[in-house]
A and B are shown apart, each in its own frame.
Chain A
Amino acid sequence: MRTSNTIKRSFSALAVTAALGAAALLSAPAASAAASNCPVKFACIWADSGWVTNGVGSYYVGFQRKIPNYARWHYNSTSISANDSASSLYNNGNLSTAMFYVNANRGGPAISFPKKTGSVNLSINGVNDQLSSGYFAGF
């Protein structure tokens, strides 16, 4: 979730480098209890790190093929917009790699997560609060 003290728009490759050095230990090759709130066959985002939104694992936004514009979606049971607010994600699909783009409609660069992998904290990946659309590769 975007907060005033965590948003940092200025680009710093070194900051990303340093953060990703730690990330190697934190990505999720296997679903934890929290990530498994994302239904099978879906790829999900949450507004906070740790695969939760407001502390609740079931408050996610998920897609089975794609969401071209997260601005049209709110996290389950909340009024929090899913646009530019994802802080963790998980691909619980059975088949494809999930790709998350910085702008709507596949706009801008993407980060990719093969099936059954995710990020418990997108700050560590250097892309917190930046995702606006999500697709399974090929769809």
Chain B
Amino acid sequence: MTTRSLLLRALATALCAAVFASCSPSETDGADPAPNAQQAESWELPLDHYGVSESEMIGANHAEDLLASECMTDAGLSWSIPAIDTTPPRKPTRTEGNQRLLTEEIATTYGYREPPIYPEQTLETLSELASRSLSVSEQSTLDKCIADAQHTLPIPADEMNFSSALTMNAYIEAGHDSEVEQAAGRWRECMQPQGISDLPALPDGGDSETMPSASLRERFRMDRAADQEDEADEFASAGAEEVAIAVADVRCRQSSGFNKAFYAAQWRLQSQALAESVDQLESEQKQIEAWLAQSHEVLAQRAGK
């Protein structure tokens, strides 16, 4: 059993104690299911350890791309994959569970934006390759090469999205928690001086509009209708007005108790989901880890070439 699996088992046992009073003492001795201060600060949640992180996804996808590229070469076609960091660090604006994190430091640095995961030059190269026009014959060959690569590295597509669906539903439902809604009311009062015409009901959570609102995204040029044309805007630095509103937003989320209530609700709902589905989650995680290990092997074999 991997370290990750051991940690998951320990957490699941602890959560078993929290959700089901019938768990035997031997299963739960010494376990504390409540998040500690450090976990709360980094917005760590029970399902974070399941599924595939964006960084892991990028590495596994690159391994598949390399196999497809070799297949294309064998077919006499060029499909050259640029070298990338296959274990890029998590964005500072993201939690381990890939949710947006908004602290005062992040708001001051990025406003409501996120830094790109790739350097600009890599992004341009990848973008060019992704949009390259291929003849019908070339595309047909590439499709076959991708299928062959996925046969070599079978993607556990359903498994990787099982925990994501649980996480997504907990996030949405947490937005409907009564304490979260009450805190959101206080957050709205706190945000009134900002004069935002379409202030959402919730700054985060639920499945409706959140922050930044549509009018703010429009004002800060983050959200234009045309596909492809807003690349520079999203990765551009935030202006002073955006930073000021984002910082005020963070402070209001904290002073209103929204962050605390929203985090607690997500922790509770994810704990419940984990306790109910731990066997399936662990079983599927093993398949995911096997896929990632295979992918790493492909990358390692080609690292020196």
Contact = CB atoms under 8 A, between A and B. Distances in A.
A20 to B, nearest CB: 5
A126 B147 contact: no
A65 B129 CA distance: 12
Given A65-B127, A102-B207, A103-B207, A138 B58 contact: yes
Interface string B141-166: 01100110010000101101110111
B172 A114 contact: no
A12 B58 CA distance: 30
B33 interface: no
A112 B52 contact: yes
A117 interface: yes
Contacts of B273: 11, 13, 16
Interface in A63-106: 63-69, 71-73, 84, 93-97, 99, 102-106
A112 B53 CA distance: 10
Contacts of B230: 68
Interface in A44-62: none
A52 to B, nearest CB: 21
B50 to A, nearest CB: 12
B228 interface: yes
B64 interface: yes
B78 to A, nearest CB: 13
Chain B interface size, under 10 / 10 to 19 / 20 to 34 / 35 or more: 35 or more
Contacts, number: 193
16 contacts: A29-B155, A41-B131, A64-B130, A71-B214, A84-B207, A94-B129, A96-B126, A103-B207, A104-B214, A105-B212, A112-B57, A132-B207, A137-B57, A138-B58, A139-B127, A139-B231
A10 B130 contact: no
Contact of B217 (A40, A105, A139): A105
B129 A106 contact: no
Given A115-B146, A116-B143, A102 B126 contact: no
B162 to A, nearest CB: 5
B108 interface: no
| 7 tightest A-B CB contacts, nearest first | A11-B173, A13-B273, A126-B165, A95-B130, A109-B168, A109-B167, A13-B276
A105 B161 contact: no
Contact of B171 (A84, A94, A109, A116): A109
Contacts of A136: 130
Contacts of B139: 40, 94
**Interface size range of chain A in the complex:** 35 or more
B220 to A, nearest CB: 10
A56 to B, nearest CB: 21
Contacts of B99: 108-109
B98 A114 contact: no
A69 B217 contact: yes
Contacts of B117: 137-138
A14 interface: yes
Contact of B157 (A13, A95, A99, A113): A113
Contacts of A24: 158
B269 A106 contact: no
B279 to A, nearest CB: 10
A116 B225 contact: no
Contacts of B44: none
A137 to B, nearest CB: 6
Contact of A104 (B57, B161, B170, B209): B209
B227 A66 contact: yes
Contacts of B118: 138
A9 B176 CA distance: 9
Given A84-B207, A103-B210, A125-B161, A11 B172 contact: yes
